[in-house]
Amino acid sequence: MFVPAIKGQGTEEQQKKWLPLAYKFQIIGCYAQTELGHGSNVQGLETTATFDPMTDEFVIHSPTLTSSKWWPGGLGKASTHAVVYARLITEGKDYGIHGFIVQLRSLEDHSPLPGVTLGDIGGKFGSGAYNSMDNGVLRFDHVRIPRDQMLMRLSQVTREGKYVQSDVPKQLLYGTMVYVRQSIVADASKALSRAVCIAVRYSAIRKQFGSQDGGPETQVLNYRTQQSRLFPLLASAYAFRFVGDWLNWLYTDVTQKLEVKDYSTLQEAHACTAGLKAVTTSATADAIEECRKLCGGHGYLNSSGLPELFAVYVPACTYEGDNVVLLLQVARILMKTVSQLTSGKQPVGTMAYMGKVQHLMQSKCAVKTAEDWLNPAFIQEAFEARALRMAVNCAQNIGQASNQEEGFYERSPDLLEAAVAHIQLIIVTKFIEKVHQDIPGHGVKEQLQNLCNVYALYTLHKHLGDFLATGSLTPKQGALANEQLGKLYAQVRPNAVALVDAFNYTDHYLGSVLGRYDGNVYPALYEEAWKDPLNETVVPEGYHEYLRPLLKQQLKLSRL
């Protein structure tokens, strides 16, 4: 994040100076924004950067305990420099949060520079999964840096100490977070596909119950309940892959537009990166835990690869923006868009469907049979109607409050659900668009079509309350969707293992005895057990010291 921050907020000159050093590892940088007292609320950060015109320097200082930088990855032990986000103060006025390049450690002996206190913040969730990352704590005691180490693409301070805001939107200060959020969506698909690969392969070899006449037991992958829990996760792995590819296109397009000072899609990029990051990481964290449960007891072994994958993955719901905070950002933009509908301003991009407000507010879903749910037009319209009606309902309720802000906070739980509905519409839309493309490979398109329908109808089934409450569907149509879902599971079943083999993960990368490509699980589980250090001795340590005296004493007592 150190590099994208300098690219996005540094001048050409600053990029020329600092990026080559970072690329060649002559310096190691981190992104020091979050503090002990503030993470979500960036505008609440307390670290100060006060301009001293006497020396043409900024004085970086941590005025309170809560202003200590806290969490930045790589800060504790590795980094020599940081992009530090601090309140810029010049001529006695506080101009809010800006980025500054600050050296933290000597390039001679790596010791912290004068006025810099830093270290690691301690162990984190899980058996040490994220402990390979030195998330750090950092405090400044009036550390001086040259004025030209303020990142000056978005705004400058002159030699005399005058603050100058350039003509770019101040939100570009947040550009690094937008960049990482869009990469986190692709990362969600990778993590989810790993968990699903393990759970599908294991479910194909695991047999439990089912034989009456002494014949072979049943593969658990054949149980309807296993399929109804597992196949939507398989479909989600593909869905997040395709929406992640599209989001990367959107991000690249926005970045190119910024180069020519076209800021027209900045809001769309913010809404899509924030919303998709929130929805895909929440779904993926829950799915990895579900995959553990789908593997029964063996899923709880470290050798299954699932506990570690879960422990490393779950902070994704928090870092780069707490998911609720990000969804509320999406909700704000939805409310703004709804309020502009009456002005005749046509919504664009992923909000364009809201322009069909007349139609979508009264449309009646035309589904009559379970098969009708295989028609992408019916799916698309049902998701658009649900999302739009939820947003309009929120806007109407907010409109009844004494003031907008009050109304927004009162209705924030409903707004959260409206934001999720909007983001799920984007994911479904991009999946439908993907399977409409020419897709090479015999039968591949049909399989992706099945997975697209599984993702859409499972999401519809899981959120049926929204569809019924907004009148977007009738209970009968909801039941037909569920009926069709069962039929789709039967079509996915014969190809389930092929669809996870398609992720093409090596056994090494997967790191799971349950997800081995050859399915040879039991010998691998058994062999792995003997690697446990506890098995280095046959009689456990402590027997003579603790167990034996206890057993002897009990034996004596029993003979009395």
Ligand X SMILES: Cc1cc2nc3c(=O)[nH]c(=O)nc-3n(C[C@H](O)[C@H](O)[C@H](O)COP(=O)(O)OP(=O)(O)OC[C@H]3O[C@@H](n4cnc5c(N)ncnc54)[C@H](O)[C@@H]3O)c2cc1C
| Integer Cα distance of 207 and 82 in angstroms | 53
Under rule CB under 6 A, which residues in 2-31 are in contact with ligand X? 31
Instruction: In whole angstroms, give the CA distance from residue 433 to residue 245.
Output: 12
Is 369 marked as binding a ligand?
A: no
Q: Binding pattern to ligand X, positions 308-347, x when CB under 6 A?
A: -------x--xx-xx-xx--x-------------------
Q: Is 217 a catalytic residue?
A: no
Size of the site for ligand X (CB under 6 A): 18
Q: What is the dihedral of CA 119, 120, 121, 125, to 10 degrees?
A: 180
Choose from ligand X, ligand PKZ, none: what does 236 bind? Cβ within 5-8 Å by kind.
Answer: none
Dmax (CA) for the chain in angstroms is 95
- Options 178, 272, 294, 456; binder of ligand PKZ; rule CB under 6 A: 178
73 labelled binding-site residue:
yes
Q: Are 196 and 230 in contact (CB under 8 A)?
A: yes
| Token digits of residue 434 | 């993907």
Catalytic residue, candidates 46, 268, 320, 384: 320
CB of 28 to ligand X, least distance (A): 13
Residue 33 contacts ligand X per CB under 6 A: yes
- In terms of CB distance, is 70 or 458 closer to ligand X? 70
Task: Determine if 130 is a binding residue for ligand X (CB under 6 A).
Answer: yes
Between the alpha carbon of residue 54 and those of residues 5, 50, 58, 95, 160, the distances in Å are 29, 12, 10, 20, 9
For helices 412-436 and 266-294, the axis angle rounded to 10 degrees is 90
Of 360, 373, 342, residue with least CA distance to 470:
360
Q: Shortest gap between Cβ of 178 and ligand PKZ (angstroms)? A: 5
Question: Judged by CB under 6 A, does residue 135 bind ligand X?
Answer: yes
Q: Is 73 in the site for ligand PKZ (CB under 6 A)?
A: yes
Question: Do 422 and 401 meet the contact criterion of CB atoms below 8 Å apart?
Answer: no
Q: Please report whether residue 1 would count as binding ligand PKZ according to CB under 6 A.
A: yes
Q: Nearer to ligand X by C-beta: 125 or 522?
A: 125
Query: If binding is defined by CB under 6 A, does position 321 make contact with ligand PKZ?
Result: yes
What are the C-alpha distances in Å from 296 to residues 202, 208, 291, 301, 509? 10, 11, 9, 10, 22
Which 3 state secondary structure label does DSSP give 449? helix
Query: From the list ligand PKZ, ligand X, none, which binds 79 (C-beta under 5 to 8 Å, kind-based)?
Result: none
When asked if residue 69 is in the footprint of ligand PKZ (CB under 6 A), the reply is no
Partner whose footprint covers residue 324, from ligand PKZ, ligand X, none (CB < 5 to 8 Å by kind): ligand X
Q: At what angle do helices 224-259 and 266-294 cross, to 10 degrees?
A: 160
Closer to ligand X by CB, 231 or 319: give it. Answer: 319
Token pair 């001529």: residue: 91
3-class DSSP state of 82: strand
**Per-residue tokens: 111:** 């010791």
Cβ(492)–Cβ(231) under 8 Å? yes
- Bridge partners for 281 per DSSP: none
Residue 34 near ligand X by CB under 6 A? yes
Three-class DSSP category at 313: helix
Stretch that binds ligand PKZ, among 172-180, 234-242, 375-383, 428-436 (CB under 6 A): 172-180
> Whole-number minimum distance, CB 463 to ligand PKZ, in Å?
25
For residue 184, state whether it binds ligand PKZ (rule: CB under 6 A). yes
* Of residues 453, 488, 486, 467, the one with CA closest to residue 365: 467
Q: Which residues bind ligand X (CB under 6 A)?
A: 31, 33-34, 39-40, 71-73, 130, 135, 315, 318-319, 321-322, 324-325, 328
Query: Which residues belong to the annotated binding site for FAD?
Result: 34, 73
Annotated active-site positions, please?
A: 320
Q: Which residues bind ligand PKZ (CB under 6 A)?
A: 1, 31, 33-34, 39-43, 73, 171, 174, 177-178, 180, 183-184, 187, 266, 270, 319-321, 325, 329, 332-333
